[in-house]
Amino acid sequence: MATMQKITPNLWFDTQAEEAANYYTSIFKNSSIGKISYFGKEGYEIHKMPEGTVMVIEFELEGQKFIGLNGGPVFKFNEAVSFIVNCENQEEVDYYWDKLSAGGEKNAQQCGWLKDKFGLSWQIVPTILAELMTNKDKEKSGRVMSAMLQMKKIDIKTLEQA
């Protein structure tokens, strides 16, 4: 019997949950779409969604399960919640930055943050960043911090040279 993930992020969309799940699973290589449930005629007076519209879609990205819910325009994403994508090299940073920022706001934030076309915030972070930021040489880690604060998309080579 498969074990259920203990905590699953539930992402509230207006009506784009299926589009978002398909978008995210096209970006992350180890991903899949799971179960999908649809609105019926029951409860229309409350949810106002046409019968047959996707209500909930399950999807998995790199081993992390998510739920996408079409809940209407009541709530919007904000930067208080973001997802970190750990990248092994600059090629991965560039790939995820370009894919996730397409149609979104890649220049709205600094330090590797972007908003995708659905308004969800992502942090595209090279794994070497933690090592550089916690360098025992406080001057070195300070230069790394100063360099990073000038960046939108993280540039590993510039950080290593700081």
Residue pLDDT, tens place only, 112-152: 999 999 999 999 999 999 999 888 888 988 999 999 999 99
162 or 87, higher pLDDT: 87
pLDDT average, residue stretch 74-82: 93
The confidence score (pLDDT) of residue 41 equals 92
110 falls in which pLDDT band (50, 70, 90)?
Answer: confident
Task: Provide the pLDDT for residue 2.
Answer: 63
Q: Per-residue pLDDT tens for 4-24?
A: 789 999 999 999 999 999 999
Kindly tell me the burial class for residue 152, based on how many C-beta atoms sit within 10 Å of its own C-beta (0-12, 13-18, 19 or more): middle
Residue 106 confidence (pLDDT) above 80:
no
| Residue whose token pair is 């993280």 | 154
Confidence of residue 108 (pLDDT cuts 50, 70, 90): low
> What is the C-alpha separation between 97 and 153, in angstroms, rounded?
7
Across the chain, mean pLDDT equals: 93
> Which domains, from first to last, does the chain contain?
10-70 (3.30.720.100), 82-161 (3.10.180.10)
Measured distance CA(117)–CA(56) in Å, rounded: 19
The mean pLDDT of 61-86, rounded to a whole number, is 95
Packing angle, helices 90-101 and 17-27, rounded to 10 = 160
